[in-house]
Each structure stands twice: as C-alpha cells, then as structure tokens.
Amino acid sequence: MSKVLRSLAPPIVVLALVAAACSNSSSAAGGGSQSAGQCNQDIKVGLALDVGGLGDKSFNDSAYKGLQNAIRDGLVCFDNTKFLEANATGSNRGENVTNLAEAGYNLIVGVGFAFSPDINEIAKDYPDQNFAVIDGYATCGTSCGLTNDAAAIPNVADLTFTEQQGSFLVGAAAALEAAKLNCTTVGFLGGQTGPLIGKFQAGYTAGVHKVNPDIRVVYQYIGDDVTAFNDATKGEALSTGMYDDGACIIYHAAGASGAGLFNAAVKADKLAIGVDSDQYLTAAADQKPLILTSMIKRVDTAVYNAIQQTGNGSFKGGGQVFDLAHQGLDYSKSNSKLMTPDIIAALELYRQDIINGTIKVPEKP
C-alpha cells in the first residue's frame, strides 16, 4: 500500500516485560490455570494476526507474546482471549475483526498496518469496543484515503514505532562488523515495498554510513503486497543474490520471509541481522553463529499496554508512538561472539545521540 503512516501522540511509558512460557490454542492463549481472583474478568481481548500467523518468529509472534504476558500478569483472563489468523493472502482480515467485534471482545488488536482500512470502517459500528492497529494509519482518515476521520472513531488507536531508530543501530553494528571482515558491501532485504519498510531501510543505511560512508548498501524487496512477508523461498533467492554481489551482512525487515535470509546465510557462510524479535533465540543451530544481532521492535509491549489501558479505562484513540527513548526499540546482544564490547559501546553512544537529538535518523530511503 502507498498509504501514509502517521504518528501523533506523545511518547508513552513502556513497561518492562519478561518472556512468558504459556501454551495456547486458536481460541485462547496461554495461562489456562488462572483462578477467578487472579485476573481481570471484566474484559475480553482478541488478536487478529496478519499473514504468516503464529510461528513467523517475528511480528505476529511478538504480538502474541504481549497477549501471553498480559494473561500472566492478570490483566485479562485466559478464557477471555482469542486469536484469529489471516489466510495466505490476508483477504479475511476484515472478516476476522468483525467476528471478534460481534463476539463482544472489548479490545481487538489488528496486528499489521494492512488492518487499517478495515478497522477504520468497522470500528464506527462498535463504539463501545476498543480497536488498536500495530503500525496502523486507521486514524489518518480522509487524508490517507480512508472513510472516517479520527473524530468519528475515537475508539481506535494506531500503535506506531520509530523503526528507523532501531534500524540505525543495527546498521552501525553491520558496518562495525564489516570493518573486521574487510568487507565493503552490506545488504537489506525488505518485505512489502512502501513507507513502513522504507523506514527500516532508511535507518539501516544511515547507521551503516555513519560508521563508514564508503560502504555500499545493496537492497531487494520481495513484493508489493502483504504476501511478501510470507515468501521464504523468494527471500532466500534475493538474499543469495546480494551475498553473491559481495554483501557480507544482510539485514531483513521481511516477516516470515526472513527465514529465507537465514537459510541463504548458512549456504553462503555469511552474516545476517534479524528483526522484530531476537531471532538468534529461535534460529536453528547452524544459523545462530551467523546472526549478528536483531532489531527488536516491541510489538509485545504495544499489545500489552493496549490491554492494560482497556482494563483500567485509560485507553485513548489516536496515535501512540513507541520510540528509542521510551524503550520501544532495541537491538539484541545474544550472539556474544560477534556482539563484542567494542561494538556494544559504540551502539550505546549512538543510542544516546539519537535520544538527545544529536543524530536525526531519516524515515525515507
């Protein structure tokens, strides 16, 4: 989509979260041992997942983790949660949102910007229920080609991120590691073309060139619709092409398609950078040594906070921005053999420069 994303609200305080280990099914997620006194029985929460569904080891899984954490902390009861997965093309997104709304869920989270047009239309018919869209532009209204302006849907929140800031840090990491490898080319693999993934590319390139302006950054995009986030075969082919073109490290912002990058990295014996979650933790044994770092996008925090706000009555429509200053983004240090103290020290200095405004990270490539 070529719709413009919008970030409106002041930064929000992000809660520190820890990982949860809970089972789930398509009708409820994690924490089934709760008793009535251990959780908020007054709300029901539904997740509408995007293409790729659970098991993408990235965007959808991070959103689901936020739901699990909310169950763990008693913000919602296990029996009052549900998730629905989009089909392979995402054509049933609106149907899934409507089904959750009709079932009386107090908060419905659309996990992905592509839910924005549907939720912009649907939310007006359910004014007493809350809707949130990860990376959304649902409240952008007629200026984005949508039907309803923000004033008509005060029950909708767009939860957005400054992805370019986190991508800058992993770009700097790539350049610092490339120097150790005597490498002069790095790569970027994007999922769907458009302004959202463009932010990842822009930040990554800026971070690379902050360290070394002479490094060449090559890039490829998988496609121009959301199925681009679920095509690991093409992701592997495009990554292989960039490795063959001299890239020693490739960063992906391609959802489940990023699995193809990791396969290509093993075959080429070159490095990769993950996205959204710490992908080192879920990688196969032969992939782990080759994952330099991951740009962590706290989708779990966004979902958790929306649930908390719905439960305590503080949910507000409009935009909520998760930025670097408020721990909405980070980078992983799990691969200690590659993420050495010198690289981490340099990234922390860049982090502070971004937070205090010394470094202005571009949003467009």
Q: Determine, yes or no, domain membership for 348.
A: yes
Give CA 355 to chain center in angstroms: 20
pLDDT in tens, 40-63: 999 999 999 999 999 988 889 999
On whether both 175 and 278 belong to a single domain, the answer is yes
Q: Determine, yes or no, domain membership for 361.
A: no
On whether both 127 and 231 belong to a single domain, the answer is no
Domain count, the chain: 2
**How many other C-beta atoms can be found within 10 angstroms of the C-beta atom of residue 108?**
33
Summary mean pLDDT of the chain = 91
Beta strands in 16-114 (DSSP E): 24-25, 28-29, 45-49, 81-85, 107-110
290 pLDDT tier (thresholds 50, 70, 90): very high
Burial class from Cβ neighbours inside 10 Å (0-12, 13-18, 19+) for residue 246 reads: middle
By the 8 A CB rule, do 317 and 154 touch?
Answer: yes
φ/ψ (deg, to 5) at 322: -105, 110
Q: Determine, yes or no, domain membership for 14.
A: no
Beta strands in 277-336 (DSSP E): 291-297, 318-322, 329-331
Which residues have a Cβ under 8 Å from the Cβ of 341 and sit 6 or more positions away?
Answer: none
**Which candidate, 359, 360, 291, places its Cα nearest to that of 331?**
291
36 pLDDT tier (thresholds 50, 70, 90): low
Q: What is the dihedral of CA 346, 335, 165, 93, to 10 degrees?
A: 180
Q: Determine, yes or no, domain membership for 108.
A: yes
In DSSP terms, 29 is beta-bridged to: 24
On whether both 345 and 224 belong to a single domain, the answer is yes
pLDDT at 22 over 50: no
In DSSP terms, 293 is beta-bridged to: 273
On whether both 60 and 152 belong to a single domain, the answer is yes
Q: What is the CA radius of gyration of the chain?
A: 20
Q: Determine, yes or no, domain membership for 360.
A: no
35 pLDDT tier (thresholds 50, 70, 90): low
On whether both 226 and 264 belong to a single domain, the answer is yes
On whether both 185 and 70 belong to a single domain, the answer is no
Q: Determine, yes or no, domain membership for 346.
A: yes
Once rounded to an integer, what is the mean pLDDT over residues 21-44? 60
On whether both 291 and 223 belong to a single domain, the answer is yes
**How many other C-beta atoms can be found within 10 angstroms of the C-beta atom of residue 91?**
11
Q: What span, in angstroms and rounded, lies between the C-alpha atoms of 249 and 185?
A: 8
pLDDT at 341 over 60: yes
Q: Determine, yes or no, domain membership for 8.
A: no
Q: What span, in angstroms and rounded, lies between the C-alpha atoms of 122 and 105?
A: 13
In DSSP terms, 318 is beta-bridged to: 157
Once rounded to an integer, what is the mean pLDDT over residues 214-236? 96
Q: What span, in angstroms and rounded, lies between the C-alpha atoms of 293 and 249?
A: 11
Q: Determine, yes or no, domain membership for 120.
A: yes
Give the three-state DSSP class for 9: coil
On whether both 281 and 175 belong to a single domain, the answer is yes
pLDDT at 21 over 90: no
Burial class from Cβ neighbours inside 10 Å (0-12, 13-18, 19+) for residue 308 reads: middle
213 pLDDT tier (thresholds 50, 70, 90): very high
In DSSP terms, 332 is beta-bridged to: none
On whether both 340 and 203 belong to a single domain, the answer is yes
On whether both 112 and 187 belong to a single domain, the answer is no
Lowest mean pLDDT among 50-59, 75-84, 176-185, 234-243: 50-59
Q: What is the CATH number of the domain that holds 186?
A: 3.40.50.2300
Q: What is the pTM of this model?
A: 0.84
Once rounded to an integer, what is the mean pLDDT over residues 106-134? 98
Burial class from Cβ neighbours inside 10 Å (0-12, 13-18, 19+) for residue 348 reads: exposed
State the pLDDT at residue 29: 45
What's the domain range around 248?
A: 164-296+335-355
**Which candidate, 250, 82, 285, 248, places its Cα nearest to that of 171?**
250
On whether both 140 and 212 belong to a single domain, the answer is no
pLDDT at 351 over 70: yes
On whether both 123 and 45 belong to a single domain, the answer is yes
Token pair belonging to 337:
């053999």
